[in-house]
Amino acid sequence: MSLKLKKLFSILSRRDDIAKIQSEAKNSEMKRTLTRLDLISIGIGCTIGTGIFVLTGLVARDYTGPSIAISFIIAGIASSLTAFSYAELSSMIPASGSAYTYAAATMGEFLGWIVGMNLVLEYLVGASTIAVGWSKVY
């Protein structure tokens, strides 16, 4: 591997130090204004959105029938495992942050950036799904 390629790989895989992340969070001019209840409400609102109130009933009526209950159980298990993973990461990296912060500290800044951009895409797709679901006339 050439020297330029090695240098590029080292730049892309550079990880943030956990102590640096904590000190930046402590010395930041940005103040926390959202409470725990606010964050929980945002999460529940994004989760519920169209998925439960509009599209799930239509899909269950037209295509799935009673098997929708099994898919809810599987989704609940997957959500629980994700919550446990985030709880483990947040105990290892005790600075407030998101998936970007955790990915940048553990896998490198480039993969953290990819995770952050995937979150932006997720929010865009989720918002567009809610808009489509609410705009349909049944």
pLDDT in tens, 39-50: 788 777 766 665
**Contacts of residue 119, Cβ cutoff 8 Å, sequence gap at least 6:** 98, 99, 100
User: Are 17 and 95 contacting, i.e. CB atoms less than 8 angstroms apart?
Assistant: no
Token code pair at residue 30? 């940005």
Six-digit token string for 65? 């029938």
Look up the pTM and report it: 0.57
pLDDT of residue 1: 60
Domain ranges of the chain: 35-92, 96-137
pLDDT digits (tens, 9 = 90+) for 10-57: 777 777 777 777 777 777 776 767 788 887 887 777 666 655 666 666
pLDDT tens digits, 104-130: 888 888 888 898 899 888 878 877 777
| CA pair distance 63, 61, nearest whole angstrom | 6
Give the residue among 90, 99, 97 at the shortest CA–CA distance from 123: 99
